[in-house]
Amino acid sequence: MDKPEPETRNTQLETLKSSWDHKNTSSNLKPRTLALSLSKGRASNFKSPLTFLNLCRNFTTRNFATHENQMKKHIKNPFEFGKIVGGGQFCNRTHELNEIRSYMLDSYSFWLYSPRRYGKSSLIHKAFAETKGVITIYFDLYNVRSLDDFCKKYAALLAKHLFSWDQEVRDLLKTFTRYFKDLYPKVSFGTDGLPMFSLEKSNITHQLDVETILNIPKQINSGLNAPICIAFDEFQEIKRIDPFLIHWMRSAFQQHPSVSYVFLGSEQSLMEDIFTSSNSPFYEFATKMSLGPISHTDWLDFISENFKSSGFTIHTDILDHMLQISEGHPHFTQFFASVIFDLVRGGLNQSDPEFKELWLNKIIQSQSIIFQTLYDQLTNIQRLILTNIAVLGEEEELFSIKNKERYKLPANSSIVAAINSLIKQSLILKKNHRYHILNPVFKAWLKTI
């Protein structure tokens, strides 16, 4: 048979394509069947090789187009957690922000305790960003390994924020040498081509050297014409870094009239020991600032608005139930909201009676292994106390005779010892004469065992 002319072949292809569109697109061969046929090379499923090849092309094109449309239509989850949160992802804290701004502008020092992931770092970053006319420095002590490490990292932060880098390197080095004296300051260049500060002296541990660095803000402040505010995050780590450092800090800081210091911490007993114990160098040095959960009303507005701006709605009963579980905890409220948003975005019906259990069980199951491992390491009395706190009502007292008889609790001395251990492990918190489990997911898990 003679080979068909190109025009004839095109006509045949169009005829085959029309035949396929007419006969098969509706029901005869579904995409899954086609995909299996293509993956297994079953060209025999089709009336001719031309049909098979043509469908390969159409199927691939349609799938890429569908994938591209889905990517274009993807709506970002508006809830953020597990990192410093700012901008539209930051919920309220208006009163606390105003209080911090006032302290900074008046050069008042303050200390703030809150459990981990309660938003204190995000709060201070937002306050720093929104307060004009104040030079701000943030120093996280959590990963500081030693006194020498503290000195070199703190000196680098001071050099970065308090000195003018708009000058020749030679002049800049002379300035650093004048302030840092015998610590051998050095200016080098990073891979980005920008100058970097460092101290070349090894093992900086001598008191005079440490005090030289601690007093830099006072030495340079007169030429800045602006107040300075320095925040130390995870300040309870200071004693671990060096037992004498806290004494040297207090001695230096009390002579810095135009510098305010912020001390943030997540270990309740350690922070209270530093700032409220009469034997501590920092006793009555700074004002205490409180940071509680965010109110139910503020969360209602924040979460509803974020759902709305993303093109979705969250049912009031679902939102109320979620806030009841999260207890206003900033990290977990955003976490819970993000999970619910994912489910709603995926098409799940909030009116389904099982929806409330679905989102919570999804979270509990994702962390159950961690909780089980933690629970296995506790003593029997600690387990009993934790479970009891998890199920206690608002009007019930842990030490009441009725509660002790109901749950067969041991003597008060044993209860107190177990409670103190749980507090040190950051599993529970005492607030307003009541004990609370810090992690609401852990609390929900305890109710299931």
The pTM of this model reads: 0.79
Q: Please spell the DSSP secondary structure of 378-445, one letter per residue.
A: S-HHHHHHHHHHHH--TT--TT-HHHHHHHT---HHHHHHHHHHHHHTTSEEEETTEEEES-HHHHHH
pLDDT of res. 14: 53
What is the pLDDT at residue 167? 86
What's the CA gap between 115 and 267, in Å, rounded?
7
- DSSP letter, residue 142: T
Q: How many independent structural domains does the chain possess? A: 3
How many other C-beta atoms lie within 10 A of the C-beta of residue 4?
11
Question: 368 and 234 in one domain?
Answer: no
Stronger pLDDT, 35 or 261, i.e. the higher one: 261
- Across the range 383-411, mean pLDDT stands at 85
Q: Taking 50 as the threshold, does the pLDDT of residue 210 lie above it?
A: yes
3-state SS, 169-221, equals HHHHHHHHHHHHHHHCEEEEECCCCCEEEEECCCCCCCHHHHHHHHCHHHHHH
Residue 39: pLDDT band with limits 50, 70, 90: very low
Structure confidence at residue 406 as a pLDDT band (50, 70, 90): confident
Whole domain around residue 35: which residue ranges? 6-73
Give the Cα-Cα-Cα angle 383, 409, 406 (nearest 5 degrees). 110
Same domain, 353 and 238: no
* Helices and strands (H and E) in the chain: how many: 20, 9
Does residue 205 share a domain with residue 334?
A: no
Q: Are residues 267 and 335 in the same domain?
A: no
Least confidently predicted of 122-131, 279-288, 425-434? 425-434
Domain-embedded: residue 266:
yes
- Identify whether residues 274 and 378 lie together within a single domain: no
Residue 87 belongs to a domain: no
Round to whole Å and give the CA distance between 141 and 159: 18
Chain centroid to CA 105: 28
* pLDDT the model gives residue 68: 47
Question: Of 289, 320, 344, at which residue does a domain stop?
Answer: 289
Residues 120-126, mean pLDDT to the nearest whole number: 96
152-203: per-residue pLDDT in tens? 999 999 999 999 888 888 899 999 999 998 999 999 988 888 889 999 999 9
Shared domain for 300 and 285, answered yes or no, is: no
Q: Read off the pLDDT band of 49 (50, 70, 90).
A: low
Tell me which residue of 413, 333, 367, 353 sits closest to 80, measured CA to CA. Answer: 333
Q: Are residues 244 and 267 in the same domain?
A: yes
Per-residue pLDDT of 322-374, as tens digits, reads: 999 999 999 999 999 999 999 999 999 999 999 999 999 999 999 999 999 99
User: Tens of pLDDT along 67-88?
Assistant: 444 444 678 999 999 899 988 8
- Per residue in 253-300, pLDDT tens? 999 989 999 999 998 889 999 999 999 999 999 999 989 899 999 999
What b-and-e string marks burial along 69-84, b requiring 16 or more CB atoms within 10 Å of the CB?
Answer: eeeeeeeeebbbbeee
Give 68's contacts (C-beta < 8 A, 6+ positions apart).
Answer: none
268, 289, 310 — which closes off a domain? 289
**Alpha helices (runs of H) in 74-168, residue ranges in sequence order:** 94-105, 120-130, 147-162
- Mean pLDDT of the residues in the chain: 86
Distance CA 49, CA 41 (A): 11
Stretch among 194-208, 219-233, 390-404 having the lowest mean pLDDT? 390-404
45 pLDDT tier (thresholds 50, 70, 90):
low
Least confident among 142-146, 181-185, 432-436 = 432-436
Amino acid residing at 11: T
Residues 327 and 353 in one domain: yes
Cα separation, 322 vs 441, whole angstroms = 11
285 shares its domain with 424: no
Instruction: Tell whether 240 and 111 lie within a shared domain.
Output: yes
What is the pLDDT at residue 69? 47
3-state secondary structure of 231: strand
pLDDT of res. 38: 46
What pLDDT score was predicted for residue 407?
Answer: 80
- Beta-bridge partner residues of 429: 436
